[in-house]
């Protein structure tokens, strides 16, 4: 094994790892697994020219920059669909700024081709064992059975990525904390990126976490039992106090595989106190309401997202529904109080 030099970028996709666990690397033949950690070098700059580290600092990268990377899948209509390779490889695509690598299967044509990473070797610990993030969660719940009643879950979902879900989640955290309630925040699905849960923290969530705290660089293509394990562990860790509120964001849109699986699952549905549905525009919201009703038999308690900042979008929505609409970017405590409590 060869020693990894100090000073390399340590990405947020490897959130649960400490520096002492990332000391050595070794070139080996291996079919990558989700969570496998590799030491690599930037071979060519493409779409991503920076990396987010464990403290959410953004590092600029250049051809020849070295760092730690994590194999994972990604679902991002505004960027890439990417999957881990099915054979041993020496070069991969950087598919997210958080340090996730794999092979791009399709891309949004508005984005550049991915940045390329040369794999120098798989990371090993001091005992010589191969390092995988799934083996190093930040926490394990003390209990495995939920006691009821629990913290009230405010579920945030939407039409797609960048529809304004994170802003709506932060608004809910801010209003609830302003009213004196204990607030916990979580993002259950998506691709590693600290900004969304840190936004919840900035808005008043005392504790916050996502799937990376449980060792997953992303949740795309997880089996149903693994996906529910992520949800339940976050629930058991952060939502035990019935006096608190638990604000939960689901990534991407309601037609996305993992989001749909959770919305259909009885354990998730029985935890819902309120649903906030987000959309980029009024027509998307109208179509999304129909899908929620017909596919999931769900009706949101409020509409928000990017569309909520436009009086014209709100006017169009009001012609189709009487569901309350709140502006994620200029939240009213009195309005949200009526919706959330």
Residue-wise pLDDT for 301-311, tens only, equals: 999 999 999 99
Rounded Cα gap, residues 211 and 313, in angstroms: 33
Whether 30 contacts 88, CB under 8 Å: yes
Which stretches of 150-283 are assigned E, i.e. beta strand?
152-158, 183-187, 207-210, 245-249, 272-278
Domain-located, residue 147: no
332 and 271 within one domain: yes
User: Rounded CA gap, 140 and 79, in Å?
Assistant: 32
Q: Which of 290, 269, 279, 263 is nearest to 326 (CA)?
A: 279
Helix, strand, coil % in the chain, rounded to nearest 5:
30, 25, 45
Q: Is the pTM of this model over 0.85?
A: yes
Distance, CA of 15 to CA of 36 (rounded, Å):
13
Residues 191 and 97 in one domain: no
The model's pLDDT over 165-211, given as tens digits with 9 standing for 90+, comes to 999 999 999 999 999 999 999 999 999 999 999 999 999 999 999 99
* Ramachandran region, residue 265 (left: φ > 0; alpha: ψ -120 to 50; beta: rest): beta
Please give the Cα distance from 38 to 25 (Å, whole number).
Answer: 7
Domain total in the chain: 2
Give the pLDDT of residue 325: 98
Question: Which structure tokens are listed for 337?
Answer: 């109080």
Q: Which helix (H) or strand (E) holds 336?
A: helix 333-340
- Provide the pLDDT for residue 189: 98
Q: Of 135, 161, 181, at which residue does a domain stop?
A: 135
Distance CA 339, CA 163 (A): 20
CATH number at 247 reads: 3.40.50.300
Distance CA 162, CA 20 (A): 36
Domain-terminating residue out of 135, 161, 182: 135
- Positions of the chain with pLDDT under 50: none
Q: Is residue 253 part of a domain?
A: yes
167 and 288 assigned to the same domain: yes
Count of residues in the chain: 341
Supply the pLDDT for residue 7.
84
Spatial separation of the C-alpha atoms in residues 284 and 92, rounded to whole Å: 35
DSSP reduced 3-state for 232 = helix
At residue 151, the pLDDT reads 98
Q: What range defines the domain where residue 328 resides?
A: 152-340
81, containing H or E segment: strand 80-83
User: How many beta carbons lie within 10 A of that of residue 29, not counting itself?
Assistant: 7
Give pLDDT, residue 78: 97
The confidence score (pLDDT) of residue 340 equals 98
159 and 104 within one domain: no
């Amino acid at each position: 094994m060869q020693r990894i030099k100090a000073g390399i970028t340590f990405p947020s996709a490897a959130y649960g790892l400490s520096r002492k666990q990332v000391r050595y690397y070794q070139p080996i033949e291996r079919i990558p697994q989700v969570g496998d950690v590799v030491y690599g070098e930037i071979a060519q700059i493409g779409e991503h020219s920076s990396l987010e580290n464990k403290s959410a600092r953004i590092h600029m990268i250049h051809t020849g920059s070295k760092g730690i990377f994590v194999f994972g899948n990604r679902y991002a209509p505004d960027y890439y669909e990417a999957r881990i390779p099915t054979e041993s490889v020496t070069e991969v695509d950087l598919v997210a700024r958080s340090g996730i690598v794999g092979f791009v299967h399709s891309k949004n044509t508005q984005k550049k081709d991915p940045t390329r990473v040369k794999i120098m070797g798989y990371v090993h610990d001091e005992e010589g064992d191969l390092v995988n993030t799934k083996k190093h969660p930040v926490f394990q719940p003390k209990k495995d059975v939920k006691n009821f009643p629990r913290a009230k879950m405010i579920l945030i979902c939407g039409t797609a990525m960048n529809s304004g879900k994170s802003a709506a989640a932060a608004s809910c955290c801010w209003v609830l904390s302003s009213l004196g309630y204990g607030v916990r925040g979580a993002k259950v699905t998506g691709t590693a990126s600290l900004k969304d849960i840190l936004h919840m923290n900035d808005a008043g969530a005392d504790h916050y976490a996502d799937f990376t705290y449980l060792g997953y660089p992303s949740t795309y293509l997880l089996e149903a039992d693994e996906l529910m394990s992520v949800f339940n562990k976050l629930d058991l860790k952060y939502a035990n106090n019935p006096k608190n509120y638990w604000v939960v964001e689901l990534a991407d849109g309601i037609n996305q595989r993992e989001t749909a699986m959770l919305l259909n699952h009885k354990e998730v549905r029985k935890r819902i106190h309120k649903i906030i549905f987000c959309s980029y525009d009024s027509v998307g919201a109208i179509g999304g309401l129909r899908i929620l009703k017909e596919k999931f038999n769900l009706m949101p308690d409020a509409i928000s997202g990017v569309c909520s900042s436009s009086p014209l979008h709100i006017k169009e929505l009001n012609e189709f529904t009487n569901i309350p609409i709140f502006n994620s970017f200029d939240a009213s405590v009195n309005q949200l109080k009526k919706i959330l409590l």
